[in-house]
Amino acid sequence: MGYIGNQPVPEATQTRDSFTATSSQTTFTTSEGYSVGFVDVFMNGVRLNASDFTATDGSTIVLASGAATGDLLDVIAYETFKPSTAAGVASANTFTADQTISGELTVDSYNESYNAVTSTSNATTVDCETGNVFSHTLTENTTFTFSNPPASGTAYAFSLRIVQDASASGYTVTWPGSVDWASATAPTLTATASAVDWLVFSTVDGGTTWYGFVSGQALA
C-alpha cells in the first residue's frame, strides 16, 4: 500500500505463474487467469514483446515460437483499478465479477444500477444480475419473469417502477406465481395515463419465494 500525504493509495496487485518449458512447448496455462491486456511474460528473465506471444483468452499464453527444454517462463498478471483523480484521494478498484466481502462494509454513499426493461411478445424479464432498480413502461399486456437471483441463503431485493402508457390503454400485468404479496393480494395498478407505481420484491431462497410490496402508487 502506498501513500499520498497520509492517505493510503491502493497499488495494483499481481499474480505470478512460473513454468519450466519442455522441448518446443508453446502453450502455457495460468493457474488464476488474467485480464486481457494486463499481463507480462518473461522468458529466462527477459520481458517478451507483445509480438512474441498471444494472450487473448484469459487463461493461456501461447508463444509465437516454441521454447527450448528448460526455459523458464514467468507470467505476471495485474489487477486493474481506476487511477486517482485528485491528490490525497485513494484510487477506487473496478471489479467486473462477483465479489465477496467478509465483515461489515461502511461507505459514505453508494449507487445502484438502473435498467429499463421492455416487453417482447407479451413477456418482460427482470434479470437480477443486472441491477437492483428497474423500470417498465407498459406497451402491451405482459407477463413478468424474475431471472438470475442469487443462490438460496443470500438476500436480494429490487424495486420496479411501472409506468402506464400515455393513452391509459389498460394493459394487464401478470406476476410470477412465486410472488407472495402482502395480505395475499396483488396490487391493482394505477390506470390513469402515465401514472407511476413503485413495487419492491425480495427473496432469500434463490427466488423460490418472492415477497412483494407496494412502495407507492399513483405517482407522477
Q: What average pLDDT does this structure show over 147-161? A: 96
161-196 pLDDT, tens digit each: 999 999 999 999 999 999 999 999 999 999 999 999
In whole angstroms, what is the distance from residue 169 CA to residue 216 CA? 21
The pTM (predicted TM-score) of the whole model is: 0.60
Mean pLDDT score of the chain? 88
| pLDDT over 80 (residue 148) | yes
Q: What average pLDDT does this structure show over 104-109? A: 88
10-58 pLDDT, tens digit each: 555 788 999 999 999 999 999 988 888 889 999 999 999 999 999 999 9
